[in-house]
Amino acid sequence: MAVRIPFQKERSSILGDIPRPYVPVFFWSKAKKTWVEVLMIADSGADYTLLPKQYMGKLGINSETETIKLTTSGVGDSTEVYFLKNKLRIKIGDWTRSIPVGFLNAVNVPPLFGRHECMNTFKVLFHKLETTIDSA
């Protein structure tokens, strides 16, 4: 069964109100022994899924032992990424996946739902201010 999520309006200093494709994604937390919801932008330009670094604690991730520190570049800047050595379990609707995840050492980047082993394992459609996700 497909999951349909309406775009959410956000204020842009340049464009005024702009609709964005946010998707509720649940990550398994070792720390809390439950699913933790993260509202993420479905980003077809993101190579892989990225979360701000503060989610490491919520998910029970130890940056010293469970990640590899890398540098990544995006539009206009580069920053450090703590890339997980092992995949994380996620849930969207009734589907679960284990995906690669990086944690950005930046506070000005929202959580990004990326392509590699994640968005490209679903059928994702952006149409008329709605995101539809279905199993591929």
Express each pLDDT in 6-44 by its tens digit: 999 999 999 999 999 999 999 999 999 999 999 999 999
CA within 13 Å, CB half, 126: 12
The pTM (predicted TM-score) of the whole model is 0.88
Q: 10 Å Cβ neighbour count for 113?
A: 31
**Structure confidence at residue 72 (pLDDT):** 77
Please give the pLDDT value at position 74.
66
Domains of the chain by start residue, with CATH: 23-124 (2.40.70.10)
Q: Quick one: which of 22, 8, 25 has its CA closest to 91?
A: 25
Look at phi and psi of residue 60 and say left if phi exceeds 0, alpha if psi is from -120 to 50, else beta.
Answer: left
Report pLDDT for 84: 96
In the chain, what are the helix, strand and coil shares in percent, each to the nearest 5?
10, 60, 35
In whole angstroms, what is the distance from residue 19 CA to residue 10 CA?
6
